[in-house]
DNA sequence: GCGATCAGCGGCACG
DNA sequence: CGTGCCGTTGATCGC
C-alpha cells in the first residue's frame, strides 16, 4: 500500500475520531519512563480516539509498545526514504526525575493495510468474583470464620483505610481480616502484618490477623506462622450472577517439623 | 458484512495461522477465574496465531476481555438468529478452586470488517532502564552509597534469592539493598523489611536495609523510619543506549516531629 | 492530584 | 511446575 495514501487514511481517521488500524513492517522506538528499541518486523498498530496507541506483534497477549489514553498522535511521511512514521507523545503521569515526556515512534517501511473504523461504545464491563465482592459477602457472614466475630462499623474512624475487614472477636480483641481472591503469597502476608501492626499501635493492644484465601504458597504459610497470624481457606464459587462463599476452613499451624 | 462469510474468513485465517481482526457489534461473556458480562456495543476482536484473543473497546488501553496464548478458538454461525459467535477456551494457569476452564464468548450481531493478515515477527524488545539494569550498575558502584561497602559475591549461598544486592559495610555488617526504578511506596518498604529479617535470622546478627529509589511516598518514609531502614534517593537517566546512575543522595530521618 | 491497592493482572526467571 | 517479583505495569477509588 502507498505510504502517502496511508498517511491520509490515518490523518483523516484521527480527525474523525475513529479507530485506526495499520499493519506493516516497522521499527519501534520508545523513550520515556524507560527506553526501548524493536527492530524491523510485521506488526499491527492500533490508535484509538482517546489517544491510546498499541503496537502488537504476531504473538503474545500484551502490546509490545504502547501509549495510554491522552497521547497526541503525529504522522510524517519521509518522501526521501519512502518511510511513514507515526508517533505518540504524552506527559508521564508518575513523576519520574527528569523524564516527564513519553514518546513512541513507529516507522513503517511498508504497509499492508490501513483503515479507520467508527467505533462507538461506552458500555461498562460487569465483573463478578472480585476481591471487593468477596470481602463484602464475608463481612456479612463473619460467623463463618468463628462465632462471636463482629465487624467494626465502617463509621468508626479506625475502620477507615485499606483494611478489608476490621472486626472484634468474642473476647473483644481486634481482628484484621485480609481477603484474597487467589492464592496468597508472601506479599499478602506482609500486607496483613503491616495492618496488624498499624492497628495494634493505634489501639495499643494485641491484634489478631486473619488471611482468607483459596490457598497459600508454602513460604507464605511459614511466614504467617512466624508472625502468629491465622489462615482460613476460602471456598467460593462465581457460578451465579454473583459470587457466593461456600465455606471457610481453618488451617492450623503445622507443628510437626522437627 | 455477511456473517457466514465472516466465519469463513476467520476459520481460514485460523487455519493459516494468521492475525485476525473482526470489527462489529457484539456482546461479550467471560467465565473462568472470575466472570464478566459486557452488553452490546462496537468492538474490535483480535485473534493471534498463538491463541491470544483480545476484545478492545473504542477507548482505554487495556483489552476489556481477553484470553492469553494457548486458547482454542471456535466459531459458530447461528443461522436462526443470524449471529456469529467466536469463543476462546483454555485452562487457567493459576489453580483456583473449582475453576480450571476459562471461556470467553463474543457474539456478533453485525460485522463491519473481518480480515486475516500474515504477520511474521519474532524480534525481541530491548528495554533500557529496568530495575535489573539499575541494580547491576549500582552493584558495581556501591561506593556511591558509602565508602567501604562491598558486594557479597553471587556465589555465596546467602546471596541467592530475590534480594537485589547483598553487601557488607566497612564494619562487616550485612546490608540488604533494594532498588526501585520508580517511587517507592509501602509495599517496597515491607519487601525490604522482609529481606532484612530473613538475612538477620539466617546470620543471627543485626542487618542494615537500604532502599534506593528516585522518591518515596510520605507513608513509606514513615514506615521506613519506624523500621530503622535507610533511604537513598537514586538519580539516574536513560539517555544513552543504556541507563546511567548519576548519583545517590542520603535522605536522613526526619527528627523534628514533636 | 497523590497514594494505596487490586487485577481474570501478564510476563519472566529461577528453583 | 510453582512462586516470587517486576512492569513504560494499568485501572480504580478514597483522601
pLDDT, tens digit, 9 for 90 and up, residues A76-115: 999 999 999 999 999 887 555 555 799 999 999 999 999 9
Same domain, B88 and B144: no
A103 falls within a domain: yes
Of B31, B61, B97, the CB nearest to A69: B61
What residues make up the domain containing B155?
Answer: 131-257
Query: Is residue A127 less than 8 Å (CB to CB) from chain B?
Result: yes
Are B88 and B135 members of one domain? no
Burial class of B213 by CB neighbour count within 10 A (0 to 12, 13 to 18, 19+): buried
Distance, CA of A132 to C1' of C6, in Å: 9
Measured in angstroms, what separates residue A15's CA from nucleotide D10's C1'? Answer: 27
Mean pLDDT throughout A169-193?
Answer: 97
Distance, in Å, from the CA atom of B106 to the CA atom of A242, rounded to the nearest integer, reads 20
CB contact under 8 A, B36 and A194: no
Q: Is the pLDDT of residue B242 over 90?
A: no
Whether the per-residue pLDDT at B21 is higher than 50: the answer is: yes
Q: B191 phi and psi, to 5 degrees? A: -60, -50
**Statement: residue A258 has pLDDT above 60:** no
Q: Are residues B49 and B167 in the same domain?
A: no
Name residues 142-171 of chain B within 8 A of A (Cβ): none
- Find the CB nearest A34 among B34, B65, B238: B238
Residue B96 pLDDT exceeds 70: no
Residue A63 covered by a domain: yes
User: Do residues B154 and B211 both lie within one domain?
Assistant: yes
What's the pLDDT score for residue B241? 80
Taking only the tens place, the pLDDT of each residue in B97-131 is: 556 899 999 999 999 999 999 999 999 999 999 99
Mean pLDDT of B192-215: 96
- Please indicate, yes or no, if residue A126 is contained in any of the structural domains: no
Structure letter (DSSP) for residue A143: G
* CA closest to D5 C1', residue: B162
Distance between CA atoms of residues B149 and B47, nearest Å: 52
* CATH code where residue A111 lies: 2.70.180.20
Residue B252 banded pLDDT, cuts 50, 70, 90: confident
Distance in Å, residue B37 CA to nucleotide C2 C1' = 32
Q: Is the same domain home to B32 and B98?
A: yes
For range A129-140, the mean pLDDT: 96
Going from the C-alpha of A200 to that of each of A175, A194, A205, B228, the distances in angstroms are 10, 10, 5, 19
| Mean of pLDDT values over B92-98 | 64
Using the Cβ of A218 and the Cβ atoms of chain B, whether some distance falls under 8 Å is answered with no
Q: Which of A117, A140, A160 is the last residue of a domain?
A: A117
Residues A157 and A243 in one domain: yes
pLDDT band of residue A256 (cuts 50, 70, 90) is very low
Pairing of strands A65-67, B35-47: unpaired
Q: Are residues B146 and B111 in the same domain?
A: no
The reported pLDDT for the residue numbered B256 is: 47
Query: Can you list the positions of beta strands (E) in A137-226?
Result: 150-151, 165-168, 174-179, 207-213
Which nucleotide comes closest to A163 if you measure CA to C1'? C5
Q: Give chain B's domain count.
A: 2
Nearest amino-acid residue to C5, taking CA and C1': A162
Provide the percentage of residues in chain A whose pLDDT is more than 70.
94
Nearest to B94 among A33, A58, A183 (CB): A183
Same domain, A213 and A245: yes
Residue B37 approaches strand C within 7 Å at CB: no
**B25 and B102 fall within a common domain:** yes
**Nearest to B75, CA basis, from B113, B42, B47, B33:** B47
Q: What percent of chain B has pLDDT over 90?
A: 87
> Cell numbers 483456583 correspond to what residue?
B96
pLDDT tens by residue, A42-83: 999 999 999 999 999 999 999 999 999 999 999 999 999 999
Residue of B119, B181, B193, B239 best to disrupt the A interface, most CBs of A under 10 A:
B119
pLDDT of B249 over the 70 cut: yes
pLDDT given at position A99: 59
Indicate the average pLDDT of chain A.
93
Pairwise CB contact (< 8 Å): B59 & A52: yes
- A62 CA, C11 C1': Å apart: 9
User: Is A184 contained in some domain?
Assistant: yes
Of A154-163, A192-201, B62-71, B162-171, the poorest mean pLDDT is in A154-163
Give the domain-ending residue among A117, A148, A179.
A117
Tell me if A172 sits within 8 A of A206, measured CB to CB.
Answer: no
Over residues B175-194, the pLDDT tens digits come to 999 999 999 999 999 999 99
- Least trusted range by pLDDT, from B3-12, B145-154, B210-219: B145-154
The whole-model pTM stands at: 0.94
Degrees to nearest 5, angle at CA B105 with B40 and B117: 95
Is A125 part of any domain? no
Bases in strand D with any atom closer than 7 Å to a protein CB: 2-11, 14-15
A-facing residues of B in 229-258 (CB < 8 A) are 235-238
Are A219 and A151 found together in one domain?
A: yes
The widest CA-to-CA distance across chain A, in whole angstroms, is: 81
The last residue of a domain, from among B94, B117, B140: B117
Mean pLDDT calculated for residue range B35-62: 98
Instruction: Please check whether residues B85 and B165 belong to one and the same domain.
Output: no
pLDDT tens, position by position, A202-243 = 999 999 999 999 999 999 999 999 999 999 999 999 977 889
Domain assignment of residue A40, yes or no: yes
Is A124 a domain residue? no
Find the residue in B nearest to A197 (Cα): B223
A19 and A74 fall within a common domain: yes
Q: Is nucleic acid strand D under 7 Å from B130's C-beta? A: yes
CA distance A170 to chain B (A): 30
pLDDT of residue A218: 96
CATH of the domain at A225: 3.40.1350.10
Please report whether residue A61 resides in a domain. yes
Amino acid at each position: 500500500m502507498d505510504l502517502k495514501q496511508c498517511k491520509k487514511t490515518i490523518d483523516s481517521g484521527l480527525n474523525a475520531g475513529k479507530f485506526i488500524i495499520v499493519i506493516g513492517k516497522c521499527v519501534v522506538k520508545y523513550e520515556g519512563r524507560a527506553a526501548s528499541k524493536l527492530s524491523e518486523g510485521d506488526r499491527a498498530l492500533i490508535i484509538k480516539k482517546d489517544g491510546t496507541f498499541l503496537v502488537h506483534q504476531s504473538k503474545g497477549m500484551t502490546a509490545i509498545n504502547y501509549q495510554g489514553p491522552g497521547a497526541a498522535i503525529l504522522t510524517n511521511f519521509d518522501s526521501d526514504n519512502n518511510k511513514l512514521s507515526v508517533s505518540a507523545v504524552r506527559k508521564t503521569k508518575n513523576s519520574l526525575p527528569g523524564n516527564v515526556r513519553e514518546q513512541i515512534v513507529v516507522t513503517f517501511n511498508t504497509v499492508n493495510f490501513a483503515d479507520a473504523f467508527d467505533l462507538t461504545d461506552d458500555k461498562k464491563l460487569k465483573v463478578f468474583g472480585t476481591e471487593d465482592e468477596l470481602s463484602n459477602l464475608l463481612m456479612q457472614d463473619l460467623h463463618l470464620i468463628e462465632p462471636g466475630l463482629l465487624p467494626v462499623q465502617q463509621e468508626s474512624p479506625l475502620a477507615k483505610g485499606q483494611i478489608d475487614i476490621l472486626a472484634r472477636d468474642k473476647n473483644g480483641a481486634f481482628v484484621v481480616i485480609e481477603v484474597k481472591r487467589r492464592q496468597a503469597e508472601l506479599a499478602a502476608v506482609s500486607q496483613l502484618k503491616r495492618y496488624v501492626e498499624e492497628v495494634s499501635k493505634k489501639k495499643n493492644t494485641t491484634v489478631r490477623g486473619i488471611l482468607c484465601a483459596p490457598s497459600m504458597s508454602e513460604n507464605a504459610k511459614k511466614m504467617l506462622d512466624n508472625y502468629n497470624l491465622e489462615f482460613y481457606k476460602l471456598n467460593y464459587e462465581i457460578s451465579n450472577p454473583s459470587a457466593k462463599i461456600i465455606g471457610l476452613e481453618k488451617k492450623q499451624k503445622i507443628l510437626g517439623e522437627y
